[in-house]
Amino acid sequence: TVKACLFDLDGVIVDTAVYHFQAWRRLANELCFDFTEHQNEQLKGISRMESLELILNWGGVSLTEEEKIAWATKKNQWYLDLVMQMTPNEVLPGVPDFLKSLRENGIKIALGSASKNSKLILEKIQMLDYFDAIIDGNNITKGKPDPQVFLMGAEATGVQPTECVVFEDAVAGVQAAKAGGMKAVGVGSADILTEADIVISTFEGFSVEKLLQM
Ligand code: G16
Ligand code: MG
């Protein structure tokens, strides 16, 4: 039976990818190159410094470690300027109702995100109170597809991995769930999230009943 649900943040609870894209693009432009929304897909679920490495590679720019840290800090400041303007209207459709019904059924809720800004984002969209545990980029040493973030989430809620279901929009996140011995619900396209146990395109129409049938 399912005793805990573990949620990725970006692409599952809220679409912060558009803001990451704007901030990373500004960084690229200041370094005199550009990249596409298609390339931006590769940055989803990847840590800040790993994202920077990929982007610099696309632009053929090489920097010292010190310069990299300075640019990553700038990008985060631009990103936070956008995050500060977020509102509860940006929560993805069906998410609040689904989390409410999890609570009503005594199912624990945890966050498993690569972001170091997750608490601030959850506050801005007024979703922080739903979560029994938050594991994010501030707690982990290994990124997805390593299962660490979700194993820590299971542990923090006191639930065995086999009784956890992970909700993920990224291939690496689904792989992390499976590597941790958990069930995975892909949020997005079944053509891409092939390793997920089931794939939903939105939380609208998804229910605890369907969760318990997995
Ligand atoms: C999110 C985004 C990634 C971002 C990462 C780190 O991951 O999908 O694009 O690079 O967080 O974010 P920050 O710079 O805020 O620490 P997730 O795991 O929530 O999908
Ligand atoms: Mg994601």
Between the CA of 113 and the centroid of ligand 2 the distance, in Å, is: 7
Do the beta carbons of residue 73 and residue 48 sit within 8 Å? no
pLDDT band of residue 16 (cuts 50, 70, 90) is: very high
Phi and psi (nearest 5°) for 47? -65, 165
- Residue 101 CB–ligand 1 contact under 6 Å: no
Between the CA of 209 and the centroid of ligand 1 the distance, in Å, is: 30
SS3 per residue for 139-182: CCCCCCCCCHHHHHHHHHHCCCHHHEEEEECCHHHHHHHHHCCC
Ligand nearest to the CA of 12: 2
pLDDT score, position 187? 97
Between the CA of 144 and the centroid of ligand 1 the distance, in Å, is: 11
| Residue 129 annotated among the catalytic residues of the structure | no
| Residue 169 annotated among the catalytic residues of the structure | no
pLDDT score, position 105? 98
pLDDT score, position 38? 92
- Residue 48 CB–ligand 1 contact under 6 Å: yes
Residue type, 136: D
User: In the predicted model, what is the mean pLDDT of residues 7-21?
Assistant: 97
Catalytic residue among 8, 15, 34, 132: 8
What does DSSP assign to residue 188? S
User: In the predicted model, what is the mean pLDDT of residues 46-73?
Assistant: 97
Quote the ipTM score: 0.94
**Percent with pLDDT over 90 in the chain:** 98
pLDDT band of residue 166 (cuts 50, 70, 90) is: very high
- Residue 174 CB–ligand 1 contact under 6 Å: no
User: In the predicted model, what is the mean pLDDT of residues 44-67?
Assistant: 97
- pLDDT tens digits, 98-117: 999 999 999 999 999 999 99
Q: How many CB atoms lie within 10 A of CB 155?
A: 14
pLDDT score, position 72? 98
Separation CA 95–CA 109 (nearest Å): 12
Between the CA of 111 and the centroid of ligand 1 the distance, in Å, is: 12
Residue list, CB under 5 A from ion ligand 2: 8, 10-11, 45, 169-170
Mutate to test the pocket of ligand 1, among 14, 47, 95, 169 (most ligand atoms within 8 A of CB): 47
